[in-house]
Amino acid sequence: MTNTQDNDTDSTYESLLSFFNLTSIGLLYQLSPHFLDKENQAMLEDLVGKAKVEIIGFIEEIEAAKALSQQIEQWRTQETDPKHTRVIVKIINNTSHVFKISQTSLPLSQADFDTFEIPDDSKIAFKSEFAYEFTPPRKKGKIMFNHFIDFTDQDVCIRFDLGMIMNSSYGFFTPTLRPTRKSTVTSIGKSRLNCSSTITRTNDDAPCNFEVEITLG
């Protein structure tokens, strides 16, 4: 009986994990008006997760590398808020394109949306915080957050998908957290561009902060 329950739980978790890893939240947002009723739309909103963007750091060209490193280190050393997962994103733009945000599921202010820019041949960084609401032990995986940002310059567009799913297992004394993080970039514009994303730092203790590095070109 126990083996059957464990198999069902593993199957449920694997199905959720597969959906989480393979489905672009940006695509769901674009298609949702066509096939989702109000109830399912509410479920999609819950899937995206609660988030806030505290700071978007734009780094001037002069002494950019030093300023960028100092800013990232300042974010790293900030006291951890147990109710929020902190994600630091560094973007390295090796191209001649100047990217702006064309659409996103992040709750940016209009000013941030309008002024955010990735200059050509530059490095910038920004920090986001996502509500951490998870109570172990919990066998069924929970999607903590799942967001997207489209960076666009004319016919070049890069989609960045960012998310985290959480599961837990029983340890000897306390439950063990098992976070699975998603960080992918995909060239979706008419003109293709080489791009990659790497999760560079992780902390598996709640609230499971992590860092991401994106390279364009």
Structure tokens at 125: 């960084």
Q: Domain tally for the chain?
A: 1
* Residue that wins the pLDDT comparison between 153 and 37: 153
Residue ranges making up the domain that contains 175: 2-216
- Once rounded to an integer, what is the mean pLDDT over residues 24-50? 59
Residue 201 CB contacts under 8 Å (≥ 6 apart), including other chains: 88, 210, 211
> Cα dihedral angle (28, 31, 34, 39), rounded to 10 degrees?
10
> Cα dihedral angle (65, 197, 87, 69), rounded to 10 degrees?
-10
The predicted-structure confidence for 54-110, as pLDDT tens digits, reads as follows: 444 444 455 667 788 889 999 999 999 999 999 999 999 999 999 999 999 998 888
Q: Encode 78-90: b = buried (16+ Cβ within 10 Å), e = exposed.
A: eeeeeebbbbbbb
The predicted-structure confidence for 167-189, as pLDDT tens digits, reads as follows: 887 766 677 888 999 999 999 99
Structure tokens at 146: 């799942």
The predicted-structure confidence for 206-217, as pLDDT tens digits, reads as follows: 999 999 999 999
Q: Give the confidence band of 19 by pLDDT, cuts at 50, 70, 90.
A: low
CA dist 46 and 58 (Å) reads 30
The whole-model pTM stands at 0.73
What integer pLDDT is reported at residue 57 of this predicted model?
Answer: 46
